[in-house]
């Protein structure tokens, strides 16, 4: 597999660790990982989710309800890395996105979060995922429908 990843990923972006992302010990700061994951999550939504909502309509508001990050190995200045994202499971108004950071053939960090879709009016009411988006999650990402499971 490319970049040492164990399987093909729905979305992968390559980048390099920058000086501004380091902490006092010259390791990548934990905040940098979260920034990388957030950036990729936004790109994933724009590329794969947004087209499934009505044209001209406001996009749903998305919030991370919960998340779990695992730091597996340190990262250092100048390392080339690949950040990946894919949907692992979904329900009627939310989905779980699995993200990874790879350096060469070594998995450095993972992040799994539950992303909830809310109505764009700020009411806090949940916004159902379109059926076509659920079909995309199943087909392109191999995601599990937790409502039917």
What tokens appear for 43 in the block? 């790109």
Give me the mean pLDDT over the 69-88 stretch. 97
Tally of domains within the chain: 1
* Residue among 74, 60, 78 nearest 19 (CA): 78
pLDDT at 65 exceeding the cut of 80? yes
Rounded mean pLDDT, 110-119 = 97
Question: Burial code of 74-112, b = ≥16 C-beta within 10 A, e = fewer?
Answer: ebeeeeebbbbbbbbbbbebbbbbbbbbbbeeebbbbbb
CB 57 within 8 A of CB 127: no
Tokens of 46: 């724009």
Give residue-wise pLDDT tens across range 7-53.
Answer: 778 999 999 999 999 999 999 999 999 999 999 999 999 999 999 99
Report residue 57's pLDDT band, with 50, 70 and 90 as the boundaries. confident
Query: In CATH, what number is assigned to the domain containing residue 137?
Result: 3.10.129.10
H helix or E strand, kind and range, residue 34: helix 30-44
Mean pLDDT of the chain: 94
pTM above 0.85, yes or no: yes
Domain containing residue 102: 2-145
Total residue count of the chain as it appears in this document: 149
User: DSSP character for 73?
Assistant: S
């Amino acid at each position: 597999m490319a970049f040492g990843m164990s399987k093909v990923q729905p979305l992968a972006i390559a980048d390099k660790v920058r000086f501004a992302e380091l902490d006092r010990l010259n390791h990548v700061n934990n905040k940098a990982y979260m920034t990388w994951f957030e950036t990729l999550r936004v790109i994933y939504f724009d590329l794969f989710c947004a087209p499934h909502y009505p044209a001209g309509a406001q996009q749903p508001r998305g919030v991370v309800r919960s998340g779990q990050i695992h730091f597996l190995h340190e990262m250092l200045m100048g390392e080339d890395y690949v950040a990946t994202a894919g949907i692992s499971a979904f329900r009627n108004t939310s989905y779980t996105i699995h993200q990874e950071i790879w350096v060469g053939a070594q998995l450095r960090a993972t992040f799994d979060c539950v992303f909830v879709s809310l109505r764009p009016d700020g009411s806090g009411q949940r916004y159902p995922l379109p059926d076509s988006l659920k079909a995309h999650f199943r087909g392109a990402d191999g995601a599990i429908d937790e409502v039917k499971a």
